[in-house]
A and B are shown apart, each in its own frame.
Chain A
Amino acid sequence: MSSNQPNSKPDLYVVARIINVLKNKGRIKRTELATSTGVAYDRLTKYVDWMNQEGLLKIDEEGNIKLTDLGLETYDKLVKWILQYVGKLKFPRF
C-alpha cells in the first residue's frame, strides 16, 4: 500500500463527494474542498493525492484542484454501476 493511498480500499462516499464538489465548483483549493466536502483535511489530502495519482483530478502549480475527464467519466461510471444494481430492486408496498 502506497502512502498516498487513503486506505486499502477507498471509501466510495468520499470519492463521490470530492468529485461532486469539483463538478459543481470547478477549480478550487484543498482547504475549500475540505470544507465543501466535510472531510477532515488530513484525510482529504490522502484522497486528493491518490486521486491525482489515478488521474481522476489534476493539481496545478498554484495548488488548485480540477477534475479531469477521466474523473468525470469515473463518476458517471460509478453512478451507472450502482444504478445497475439498485435500479433492479422492486420494493413491496407496505
Chain B
Amino acid sequence: MSETAVVVKVEELMRALDQVKKYKALARLMVDFLGIVLLSFVALFSLELFFNFYYLTGHFQSYFSYPNILSTVTPSVGGFSSTSFVALIFIAAGIIAGIFWVDRKLKRSKLEQWKSTLDEGFAGAVKLLQELNWDTVFDDIRTSALAYGLYAAIRIIGYWVIAMVILGFPYSIALNLIHTDFNFYLLAFLSLPFVFIFSKKDLQKKYRQITSLDNLLWELRWFNSEFKSAEFKT
C-alpha cells in the first residue's frame, strides 16, 4: 500500500515537472514567435516598397504612397490612415500565426518519458528520484515562470491588436457618419476593455499557472534539502 502511495506521489511530481518542461520549451519558442512577427513586418515593408516603386514609375495611385517607409507602422499622433490599418492587419496576422506555431509546437513536446520507468513500481520511483538533477529542475522552474509570463504578455498584446483590427471597421463606419477624423489612440483605448473581457479567463489561468510554478519551486526546495540531508540506514 505504501509502495503504491510512493509511486502515486512520484507520478504527481513527474507530471508537474513535465509541465515545467513544457513551459521551458516556451522560452525557446519565443525566438520562433519573434521571427514570425518579424517576418510579418518584412512582408509589410516589402509590399509597401513594391507599391511605392509602382507609384514612382507612374503605374497607378496606391494607398502605399507615403514618402516615409515607416509610415505604415508608425501612425502620426492622433491620426490614422488606411495604410496604418493595413499595417495592423499584417502585424495581427503575424501574431496569430506566431501563437498558432507556438501552441502547435507545445502540443508536440515529448512528455511522460518517465512512464516506463515508473511502471516498474516502487523501484522505478526510487530511480526517478535518484536521477533528478535538482539544480537543473530549479533553474527550469525559474526559466519556465519567466517564459510563461512573457508569453502571456505577448498573447494579450496580440489580442489587443486583433481587437483593434476587428473594431476598426465599425469604428471607421461610425466616424464616417459623423464626419470626424480617425484617431488611432482612441481606437486602442476602446479596444482595451474588449481585450480584458475576452481574455479574462486566459489571464486568470496564466496567473494561476505562474503562481503554481512558484509554489512548486518552494515545495521542491524543501523536499530537496530534507531528502538530501536525510540518511537511510538499514
Contacts and interface: CB of A to CB of B under 8 A. Distances in A.
Q: Indicate the size class of the contact surface on chain B.
A: 35 or more
Given A56-B234, A86-B223, A94-B16, A16 B122 contact: yes
A94 B212 contact: yes
A2 to B, nearest CB: 16
B234 A85 contact: no
Contact of A85 (B3, B5, B123, B227): B227
Interface string B97-125: 00000000000000000000000111111
Interface residues of A, number: 28
Contacts of B19: 94
Contact of A89 (B9, B123, B124): B9
Interface stretch (B27-35, B43-51, B84-92, B126-134): B126-134
A12 B130 contact: yes
B234 A86 contact: no
Interface in B208-234: 209, 211-213, 215-216, 219-220, 223, 226-227, 230, 232, 234
Nearest to B215: A92
B64 to A, nearest CB: 46
B136 interface: no
A11 B123 CA distance: 11
Interface stretch (A26-34, A41-49, A59-67, A73-81): A73-81
B130 to A, nearest CB: 6
B129 A82 contact: yes
B212 A12 contact: no
Nearest to B16: A91
A81 B233 CA distance: 10
Contact of A82 (B6, B15, B120, B212): B6
Interface in B1-29: 2-3, 5-6, 9-10, 12-13, 15-16, 19
Contacts of B121: 20
Contacts of A17: 120, 123
Nearest to B226: A85
B219 A81 contact: no
Given A85-B227, A87-B5, A91-B16, A79 B232 contact: no
A33 B2 CA distance: 24
Contacts of B209: 94
Contacts of B212: 92-94
17 contacts: A11-B130, A12-B126, A12-B232, A13-B123, A13-B127, A17-B123, A54-B234, A78-B126, A79-B2, A79-B6, A79-B122, A82-B126, A83-B9, A85-B226, A85-B230, A90-B219, A92-B16
Given A12-B232, A79-B6, 16 more contacts: A12-B130, A16-B122, A16-B123, A16-B126, A17-B120, A20-B123, A54-B234, A77-B234, A78-B126, A80-B2, A81-B230, A82-B125, A86-B125, A90-B215, A92-B212, A94-B209
Interface of A: 11-13, 16-17, 20, 54, 56, 70, 74, 76-83, 85-94
